[in-house]
Amino acid sequence: MVKAAAIEPGFVLGVLGGGQLGAMFAMAARRIGYRVAVWDPDPDAPAHGIATHSFPAPFTDHHTLTRFADLVSVVTYEWENVPAELCRVLEQRKPVRPSSAVLSVIQDRLEQKKFLSFNGFPVPSFAGFTAPDQLSATVQQVGYPALCKTATSGYDGKGQWRIDRESAVREVKRALTESACPGMRWIVESFVPFERELSILVVRGADGQSCAYPMTENEHEEGILRTTTVPAPGSSAVAERAATLASQVVDRLEGVGVFCLELFQLPNGELLINEIAPRPHNSGHYTLDACSVSQFEQQVRAMCGMPLGEVRLLSPAVMVNLIGDDATVVMNGAGCRTLLDVPGAVLHLYGKRDIRPRRKMGHVTFLGETLGVALDRAKRFREGLASSLSRPV
């Protein structure tokens, strides 16, 4: 890998992927004086409209690779499903942060769990398999209830199946057989009877220094993050353990950038690692409005070898995702005016052209003088949203 000194404002930062995470990265970078090159195959990706240089081409396009590598000083990626091989090739020309080696471990759920288990970090029981016919034996090894997941490419609950009984094994096997491709792998994990879902962001610089944001509590619906509450209610000892665990994992990875650990807290207080994300995370969007330095600016600072910023929480906050038709309520005139009239409400829309079910269209952060105030504002908003869409909260 090509090593680089600190990269100062004025240089071009490259990002692979141009969705909302790439767009928020680009906004943070441009605000502090960097130029940004976005490479995303989708010409309508939101980040293209914010970038100073846009590359709407397939990730397999060698001409684009050469132009992109010639232009940028350092590269990062929006999410973990970009091709690791592309990052390896770029790494021969420019620094990639986090590295392609880190990406290769994290983007494969099975390899990620092996890495965590081998290094003594707490994870649910798991086992991998390579053919649908091996599903039954793998579930027997892990035990019921279990979750079967694709080893790669799944996100927001996609590519996952819960298995509670033997008859479900047959149903899942049929689904795997219908969707299987050459070289495909899966992982079976024991289902965790968690008390709550938590996450924590840790930032690690090129010099090995790191810092952790406050721990958050998350609520999911159908595998998609719905709300994030910060600071997470409960024991400070749990938050301290989460921060220590996150720092240890990222140190062991030798990662540079922003990382998120998704955690399960068991009834006895024990923490298990669900997944690692090697980039800013949906549960960290509150940092845009409630912290002195956002997760996206930290991503810029870390990849450029600049000093990391404060991770201080300026206000308790609750972040609510706008998913699918939620956006239609917020984007009409009356709905938008009503929302913006709420004290402490900060609206972020991602500029996506098409509204689709299960698609993240934006989010709202509710700030409050106390956590109770922020929770109440978010609760009233969600109740109004549910009423408008005729669905339960």
From CA 375, how far away is CA 377, in angstroms rounded? 5
Q: At residue 91, what are phi and psi to the nearest 5 degrees?
A: -65, -20
Residue 1: its pLDDT value, please?
A: 41
Domains and CATH numbers, the chain: 12-96 (3.40.50.20), 125-190 (3.30.1490.20), 196-389 (3.30.470.20)
Residue 392: band (very low, low, confident or very high) from pLDDT cuts 50, 70, 90: low
Residue 180: band (very low, low, confident or very high) from pLDDT cuts 50, 70, 90: confident
Residue 53: its pLDDT value, please?
A: 98
pLDDT single digits (tens) 234-271: 989 999 999 999 999 999 999 999 999 999 999 999 99
- Between the alpha carbon of residue 193 and those of residues 112, 187, 188, 224, the distances in Å are 21, 18, 16, 18
Residue 393: its pLDDT value, please?
A: 59
pLDDT single digits (tens) 182-236: 788 999 999 999 999 999 999 999 999 999 999 999 999 988 999 999 999 998 9
Are 275 and 283 spatial neighbours (Cβ–Cβ below 8 Å)?
Answer: no
From CA 362, how far away is CA 381, in angstroms rounded? 14
Report DSSP letters for 234-295, one per residue. S-HHHHHHHHHHHHHHHHHHT--EEEEEEEEE-TTS-EEEEEEESS--GGGTTHHHHBSS-H
Place of tokens 């994300």: 277
Are 339 and 381 spatial neighbours (Cβ–Cβ below 8 Å)?
Answer: yes
CA 16, chain centre distance (Å): 15
Residue ranges of alpha helices (H) inside the chain are: 20-31, 62-71, 84-91, 100-106, 109-118, 135-142, 166-179, 236-253, 287-290, 295-303, 326-331, 333-340, 371-389
Closest alpha carbon to 125 in 188, 78, 171:
188
- Between the alpha carbon of residue 122 and those of residues 3, 26, 149, 293, the distances in Å are 33, 35, 19, 30
pTM of the model: 0.95
Mean pLDDT value of segment 83-96: 98
Residue 90: band (very low, low, confident or very high) from pLDDT cuts 50, 70, 90: very high
Res. 333: pLDDT tops 80: no
What is the number of other CB atoms lying within 10 angstroms of the CB of residue 217? 19
3-state secondary structure of 302: helix
Residue 3: its pLDDT value, please?
A: 47
Report the b/e string of 336-346 with b at 16+ CB within 10 A. Answer: eebbeebebbb
Enumerate the β-bridge partners of residue 163: 146
Q: At residue 341, what are phi and psi to the nearest 5 degrees?
A: -85, -10
pLDDT single digits (tens) 355-383: 999 999 999 999 999 999 999 999 999 88
Both structure tokens of 265: 């807290």
Residue 157: band (very low, low, confident or very high) from pLDDT cuts 50, 70, 90: low
- Between the alpha carbon of residue 271 and those of residues 37, 216, 281, the distances in Å are 39, 14, 19
Amino acid 370 reads T
Enumerate the β-bridge partners of residue 202: 212, 259
Res. 385: pLDDT tops 90: no
Q: What is the mean pLDDT of the chain?
A: 94
CA 231, chain centre distance (Å): 18
Res. 47: pLDDT tops 90: yes
Both structure tokens of 282: 């949906």
Residue 348: band (very low, low, confident or very high) from pLDDT cuts 50, 70, 90: very high
